[in-house]
């Protein structure tokens, strides 16, 4: 093998090493940022536990109570109530922010309809008061989620990682995804 051929091989290996190390470095940096965003999702911006995850739990609890109220009024077979019940059952199996985000979108589509259906029934005053509390909990949690600083962290992360090289790193190294809850 000539000196020129060896030189070309060495240069090729150096280029490959540089590209791979850049990909690895980018992957590590992105994952570190994603982990920070996930921590804010789970524990809140200041680690207080007042987080989007906490508010999602409140919504799930409200759904559970709503389902119990429907059962107490013999309405558990209603289409809207069944959808909410399915969402409630799925909550404990959610693992990723992407799954929580999809769940939350589904809840926003179905839970208000279920509460509206129950509101249209002839409920006792006690059950009406209970339903009002569940609606207030839902509205409060969705309001808190919409204005959570977490959403800004996600937007900042997405802006920082929006270039073509970042896209190659994300797709090539399977960086975890995060979604906002707007």
3-state helix/strand/coil string of the chain: CCHHHHHHHHHHHHHHHHHHHHHHHHHHHHHHHHHHHHHHHHHCCCCCCCCHHHHHHHHHHHHHHHHHHHHHCCCCCCHHHHHHHHHHHHHCCCCCHHHHHHHHHHHHHHHHHHHHHHHCCCCCHHHHHHHHHHHHHHHHHHHHHHCCHHHHHHHHHHHHCCCHHHHHHHHHHCCCCCCCCC
pLDDT in tens, 138-165: 999 999 999 988 888 888 878 877 777 7
pLDDT in tens, 37-87: 889 888 988 878 789 999 999 999 999 999 999 999 999 999 999 999 999
pTM, full prediction: 0.80
Q: Is the pLDDT of residue 6 over 90?
A: no
Q: In the chain, what are the domain boundaries?
A: 1-46+149-182, 52-147
Average pLDDT of every residue of the chain: 87
């Amino acid at each position: 093998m000539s000196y020129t051929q060896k030189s070309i091989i060495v240069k090729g290996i150096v280029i490959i090493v540089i590209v791979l190390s850049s990909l690895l470095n980018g992957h590590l940096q992105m994952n570190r940022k994603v982990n920070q965003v996930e921590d804010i999702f789970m524990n809140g911006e200041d680690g207080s536990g007042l987080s989007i995850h906490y508010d999602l739990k409140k919504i799930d609890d409200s759904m559970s109570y709503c389902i119990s109220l429907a059962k107490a009024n013999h309405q558990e077979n209603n289409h809207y109530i069944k959808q909410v019940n399915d969402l409630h059952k799925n909550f404990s199996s959610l693992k990723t922010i992407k799954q929580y985000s999809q769940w939350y979108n589904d809840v926003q589509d179905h839970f208000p309809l279920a509460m509206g259906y129950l509101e249209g029934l002839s409920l006792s005053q006690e059950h009406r008061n209970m339903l009002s509390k569940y609606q207030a909990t839902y509205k409060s949690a969705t309001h808190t989620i919409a204005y959570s600083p977490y959403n800004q962290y996600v937007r900042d992360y997405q802006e920082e990682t929006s270039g073509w090289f970042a896209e190659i790193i994300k797709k090539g190294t399977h960086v975890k995804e995060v979604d906002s809850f707007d």
